Amino acid sequence: MPVYRYVAVAPDGAQIKARTEAPNEDVLRHELMLRNLEVKQIRRRKRFNELELTPQRVPRAEIMHFSRQMAAFVRSGIPITDALEVVEEGSDNKRFREIVATMRAQIQAGVPFSEALEEHAEVFPPYYVGILRSSELTGQLDTALDQLSGYVERDLEARSKVKSALTYPAVIGVMSVATVVILTVFVLPRFTKFFESLDAELPLPTRMLLGLSSVAHGLWFVWLALAAALVAAGAWLQRSPRGRLLRDSLFLRMPLVRDVVLFAVTERVCRIVAAMTRAGVPLPETLTAAMQGANNKVFERGMVEAQERMLEGEGLAQPIADTELFPRAAVQMIRVGEDTGTLDTQLANAADYYGRELEYKLKKLTSLFEPAVIVMMGVIVGFVAVALISAMYGVMSSSKLQGGGM
d(CA 170, CA 167): 5
Architecture of the domain defined by 174-406:
Up-down Bundle (1.20)
Range(s) within the chain of domains with CATH label 1.20.81.30: 60-153, 174-406
pTM greater than 0.95: no
Q: How far is CA 295 from CA 177, 269, 338, in A?
A: 30, 10, 25
Closest to 283 (Cα-Cα) out of 248, 309, 249: 309
Helix (H, G, I), strand (E, B) or coil at 250: helix
CA–CA distance, 66 with 74 (Å, rounded to integer): 12
Q: What is the pLDDT along the chain (406 residues), one digit of tens a residue?
A: 677 888 888 888 888 888 888 766 767 777 888 888 888 778 776 655 444 445 567 888 888 999 999 989 988 888 888 999 898 888 888 888 888 888 888 888 788 888 888 878 788 877 788 888 888 777 788 888 888 888 888 878 877 777 777 777 777 777 777 777 777 777 777 777 776 676 666 777 777 777 777 777 677 677 788 888 888 888 888 778 888 888 888 888 888 788 888 988 898 888 888 888 887 778 888 888 888 778 888 888 888 888 888 888 888 888 888 888 899 888 999 899 888 888 888 988 998 898 888 888 888 877 777 777 778 777 877 877 777 777 777 666 655 545 554 4
Residue intervals of the chain classified under CATH 3.10.20 are: 3-50
Q: If one looks up domain 3-50 in CATH, what number appears? A: 3.10.20
Residue 81 belongs to what H/E stretch? helix 80-90
What is d(CA 119, CA 114) in angstroms, rounded to the nearest whole number?
9
Closest C-alpha to 268, from 240, 292, 294, 302? 294
CA distance 323 to 88: 44
Q: Topology of domain 60-153, per CATH? A: Receptor-associated Protein (1.20.81)
Residue 281 contacts residue 131 (beta carbons within 8 Å): yes
